[in-house]
Every structure is written in structure tokens, then in C-alpha cells.
Structure 1
Amino acid sequence: MKNVRHILLLVCTLMMLSCSMAFAAAQQEAPARPTLSVDGQGTGTATPDMATITIGVTTQGNDAAKAQNDNAWTSNQIQKAIQDLGIADKDIQTRNYSFYPNYSTEKGQNNKITGYTVNNSVIVVVRDIKLTGKVIDAALNNGANEINSLDFSASDTRAVRKTALLNAVQDARDKADVIAKGLGKRIVGIQNVSESTGYLETRRFNMLPMAAMAKDASTPIAPGSLSMTANVHVDFILGD
């Protein structure tokens, strides 16, 4: 009886091994399904809801202390005017402060100090974009003589990224459908997908130093729109 069980076990093992080998052989013999590789690109847009302004004050004087005091007084007046518009203290940050002597350019007097220059630049984050023009006007009307840059950005980029990705996938699928149809095939599956999404780029305006502006003129600001681009690579499986 014991020998019979051993024989049955051996037969079952051989049958299973045979089936496994046959299945493997069938897989090897089956031709690989053709694939179609397509790249897609999509864009999402957003309306800016934030602005970042770089404001500078440059003063000069024959006396070092007076040049520094004049700059400090003007800078304080500018910050107070900006705060009065509702800009929080945390959204006003010093970017650069410099103090240096000016030397004579006359021959033989290169080491002679003729005065001093002080520069104080601050970055102002405007979270209510409608106040952008008013912040610029307040700064200029209170002594600022430099508006070095103006950047527009969006605080929430998730919806823009989603739109860009969906558009990129749809672009890839549209291309694949056209190609597959031209080959007399149809898409029956997806083998692999990869994506590459960029960042929502800020819109920057570099400005020349503004030493004078009409005090009664308001600064018009048109933020426009921002865009984000997404790219996808899809390997589609083709069938008859």
C-alpha cells in the first residue's frame, strides 16, 4: 500500500511538471504584443493671486551718519505706508542693505572720499493682488526711488497641475488613436506610463530704477495668467 502511494505521488509530480513545462513553452512561443510609444503634452493655466515687489531706497550724503539716517527715515516711512494698506509685517522682508563710501574720480585724488551711498531694499509680498498698484504708489510717494522687480504667482497649484496632466494624457491618447487607426490596429491596453510635470512659473517684470513719478498718477497692474506644462510618455498595447 505504501508503494502504491509513492507511485501515485510520483505520477502527480510528473504531471504537474509536464503541465508547467508546456505552459512555459506556450508562453515562449506566443509572439509579444506590439506596442506603440507616444509622448503627450498638456498645459494648465491659473490666474495669479499674489505679487512680490522689490522696493529700494538709495540715498547719498557728504556725511556718513546723515546718509544713513536719511535712508532709515525714508525706509521707515515707506514701510509704514505699506502697512497702512493692510500688508502684514511678516510680508515685508529686507533683501539687501549696503553702505559704502564714494571716491573722487579726479586724477590724483582716487583715495579721497566725496560722500556716502546707502541702499536699503525690501521684498513685499502682496497677498491681495488688487493692492499691487497701491503698494507701488505708496512706496514711490513716500521716497522710494527703485522698483527693482515685480513677480506674479499663484498660491495653489494643485488644480493647475491636475488640468495639465489630464490634457497631456488626452494628447497622448489622441495621437495613439490616430496612429493605431492608420496601422489598422486598435489600442487594447497600456504597458507603461511615465510623467514629467514642470512648475507654475512666475511672471517677472524687471524694472529700471524709478527716481521720479507723477504723484497724482496711479500705477495700473494687469497680472494676466500663469501656465504649467506637463509631459507624459505612454506605451500602448496594440491588438487587431
Structure 2
Amino acid sequence: MKKAGAEESELSTQDMKMFPSYRQEYDDNTKSYQSIFEGYKIENKLIFVSKKLDLAGKVIDIAVSSGINKISSVQFVPTKTKIKELKDSVISQAVEDAVKRANLALLPLDHEIKSVKSINIEEDLYGRNQLYSKVQFLYSSPLGSTHGQNDETKLFDNLKKFNVQVNVSFIIGRKQQN
């Protein structure tokens, strides 16, 4: 993982489990299946948390080439700071757009915006407006790869929508004649 550019502080392990592994074999003498002990299996979760999203595909490629055969979750979640920046930007753009549209609508009426009466921002309290992408259950075959030597797994965030509803109310009046 470090070869791909991952730092030690971005990697951690969790929930290491070790358990016996058995295979079922049919016994012709007893005409039944018997459990044959194969050895032990170890499961270990490797967690990679980084702000360097371009490393995600490389880290997965290295994990697979090192013997990992199940990836249970890939998540892209922006930082709280980035979410706040995006939210503020969307709100600012919505207010600017409301002013432009109101001015266009008032132009033929010989009226103008005197002031802003209120700005109402509706946000989703359950977090559905957060930028978030999740890919679950990626499997690879440990027997061989269909990728070429220089191919790299590319992961892209497919949910790039962020919705905030902004209602702007204005106080309007006749344009004053100079």
C-alpha cells in the first residue's frame, strides 16, 4: 500500500478473526459426507482513509495483487469542512440567481427590489443531501487478472448531487423616478 502512496497513518486493521476451515468430502464406505479439516482461515479488515481519492484504485489493485479476494465496501465521503463550503456556495449562488430572476420579472412592471424580506433555507436533516458514494461487494479472482499490466482500477464518485432549497422573499416597489 505504501508503494501506491498510502501513508502509515491512513491504514489500520480491524476485526481480525481466525477460525477453522473444513471442506465436505463424500465417503463411499459410509455413503455420507464428512467434514475434512483444511486448516485455518483468517479474516482481517484493512481500512484505508485518505483525502487522496486518486489513490483508491491503486490501493485496491495492490490489495488484490497481494491476495485480497473480497472488498466489502468503498466509500467516498467528503470532510465536514468541504460539505460546509459546498453548502455555503450553493446557498450564495441560489440567492444571486433569485435576485437576477426577480429583477428580470420586475423589469417590464416598472418595479424594483427594495430589500430582502427573508431567506429560508431548507436542508435535509437525515443527511441525504451529503455527497456520498458507496460501492459494495467488489470481488476479484485470485487465480488471474483480466487487467493488462498497466491497467489501473479507476473509481469515480457517481453521486455528485447536492440539493439545498433556498426561498428568497423580496419587498418590491415602484421604481423611483429621478
Q: TM-score range by the shorter chain?
A: 0.5 to 0.7
Residue 72 of structure 2, aligned match among 141, 148, 151: 148
| 1:209 corresponding residue in structure 2 | 139
Deviation at 1:152, TM superposition (A): 3.1
Deviation at 1:103, TM superposition (A): 7.3
Q: Of the two structures, which has the highest relative contact order with CA contacts closer than 8 Å and spacing of 6 or more? A: 1
What are the superposed Cα offsets for residues 7-34 of structure 1, whole Å, 9 maximum, x if unpaired? xxxxxxxxxxxxxxxxxxxxxxxxxxxx
What are the superposed Cα offsets for residues 217-237 of structure 1, whole Å, 9 maximum, x if unpaired? 532315368443332222211
The answer as to whether partners of 1:161 and 1:197 remain within 8 angstroms in 2 is: no
Residue 124 of structure 1, aligned match among 48, 51, 54: 48
Aligned ranges for residues 73-88 of structure 1 at < 5 Å?
Answer: 82-88=1-7
What are the superposed Cα offsets for residues 82-114 of structure 1, whole Å, 9 maximum, x if unpaired? 1343322221122433344567889xx99x685
Residue 112 of structure 2, aligned match among 156, 163, 186: 186
Tell me whether 1:98 sits opposite 2:17 in the alignment: yes
Instruction: Count residues in correspondence.
Output: 157
Q: Tell me the secondary structure at the aligned position of residue 138 of structure 2.
A: coil
Percent identity reads: 22
Provide structure 2 residue ranges, at least 5 long, that are not aligned to the other structure: 27-31
AA at the equivalent of 2:120: S
| 2:163 corresponding residue in structure 1 | 229
Provide structure 1 residue ranges, at least 5 long, that are not aligned to the other structure: 1-81
AA at the equivalent of 1:210: S
What RMSD over aligned residues (CA atoms) do the two structures have, in Å?
3.7
Change (3 A) 1:210 1:217: farther
Give the TM-score normalised by the residue count of structure 2: 0.63
Aligned ranges for residues 35-74 of structure 1 at < 5 Å?
Answer: none
Aligned ranges for residues 167-178 of structure 1 at < 5 Å?
Answer: 167-177=93-103
The answer as to whether partners of 1:101 and 1:113 remain within 8 angstroms in 2 is: no
Would you tell me which structure has more helix in proportion to its own residues?
Answer: 1
For residues 139 and 180 of structure 1, what CA distance do their matches in structure 2 show? Answer: 61
Q: Tell me the secondary structure at the aligned position of residue 201 of structure 1.
A: coil
Larger mean CA deviation between 169-178 and 84-93 belongs to 169-178
Change (3 A) 1:114 1:175: farther
AA at the equivalent of 1:231: Q
AA at the equivalent of 2:156: P
Tell me whether 1:165 sits opposite 2:85 in the alignment: no
